[in-house]
Amino acid sequence: MIPKDPAMLLSFINLKLRDYYSSLEDLCEDLDVAQEEITEKLSGIDYHYDQEKNQFV
């Protein structure tokens, strides 16, 4: 289960990307979450996935 609040989601996703997953695609597949759902919620607070950094910035 992922957080609903965008700020909490940002923290949760970036922590998981930093510590456990080499890409957003891997994270979404493992957690069974649509990548579009995460990117849409975080773009709403002006954060976008940076593939090189493997983080939302």
Domains identified in the chain, total number: 1
Mean pLDDT (whole number) for 24-51: 97
Query: Which pTM was predicted?
Result: 0.94
> What is d(CA 48, CA 55) in angstroms, rounded to the nearest whole number?
8
User: What's the pLDDT band for 10 if we cut at 50, 70, 90?
Assistant: very high
Q: Partners of 55 in the beta sheet?
A: 50
Helix (H) or strand (E) holding 15: helix 6-19
Query: In angstroms, rounded to a whole number, what is the distance separating the alpha carbons of residues 45 and 15?
Result: 17
How many residues in total does the chain contain? 57
In this prediction, residue 17 has a pLDDT band, given cuts at 50, 70 and 90, of: very high
Q: Is 1 among the domain residues?
A: no
Q: Which residues constitute the domain of residue 28?
A: 6-56
In a domain, 30, yes or no: yes
19 belongs to a structural domain: yes
